[in-house]
Chain A
Amino acid sequence: GENVEQHPSTLSVQEGDSAVIKCTYSDSASNYFPWYKQELGKRPQLIIDIRSNVGEKKDQRIAVTLNKTAKHFSLHITETQPEDSAVYFCAARLANAGGTSYGKLTFGQGTILTVHP
């Protein structure tokens, strides 16, 4: 089955710096790659996603890049703010598995991001 590796496990930056989190996946049939932010005691919230027919997607301070050949994708946060502090998870999904558009997501182990004021 799919395996997703995420690095680093912890990341500490100063406010205003950039943060980059990287993930690799094992199954080349995966076609959907979301990123979730989870604050302590709260639900995972989708912050950005990318599909395999796109190489890069940007939403204000957040961007995701995908390299299908190397099977890795990365989250980039620019101009970090203390409220960006949370656990970030990457995930990958196999295309149309189970007959539905949003089947099983395989998650990475998470990155604890701390932004110091």
Chain B
Amino acid sequence: DAGVTQSPTHLIKTRGQQVTLRCSPKSGHDTVSWYQQALGQGPQFIFQYYEEEERQRGNFPDRFSGHQFPNYSSELNVNALLLGDSALYLCASSLALGTGDGYTFGSGTRLTVV
């Protein structure tokens, strides 16, 4: 399957802890975007990585950071977890300079902070 792969699928953490989520983009894609989806809400943009650099950032605090590797995969790190960080974290890949099929979303990581 050449779709977007996210790991882990579920995660439970304690307040104050740190977490790392991982994403492998769809084959042929070079850009990774991260979204947070709280229950009953639309996805909220966290940031986007292209050429190993953060290209755009949404309204999220510095506790949220990321990284993109040379193979285009990406990590999302969240420090000092709060209860409000509990959400579904979605990774979406795309081709930076193209007019193809836009985003492809992964199935997400369900993070629960207790």
A-side residues, CB < 8 A to B, are: 1, 4, 6, 32, 34, 36, 42-46, 49, 89, 91, 97-110
Total number of residue pairs linking A and B with CB closer than 8 Å: 76
Tell me the bound Cα distance from A49 to B102 in angstroms: 9
* B48 in contact with A103 (CB, 8 Å): yes
Tell me the bound Cα distance from A58 to B31 in angstroms: 28
* A101 in contact with B95 (CB, 8 Å): yes
CB of B25 to closest CB in A, whole Å: 12
Interface residues of B, CB < 8 Å — how many?
30
Tell me the bound Cα distance from A32 to B98 in angstroms: 13
Tell me the bound Cα distance from A104 to B50 in angstroms: 12
Please give 19 more A-B residue pairs, beta carbons under 8 A apart, in addition to A43-B105, A106-B45, A110-B40.
A6-B42, A32-B102, A34-B103, A43-B107, A43-B108, A44-B43, A44-B105, A97-B56, A98-B55, A98-B56, A99-B50, A100-B31, A102-B31, A102-B102, A104-B56, A105-B33, A105-B45, A109-B42, A110-B42
B-side residues, CB < 8 A to A, are: 4, 31, 33, 40-45, 48, 50, 55-56, 58-59, 90, 94-99, 101-108
Partner of A44, one of B40, B90, B101: B90
CB of B99 to closest CB in A, whole Å: 6
* A104 in contact with B103 (CB, 8 Å): no
* B99 in contact with A109 (CB, 8 Å): no
Contacts of A1 in B (CB 8 A): 59
Tell me the bound Cα distance from A108 to B108 in angstroms: 19
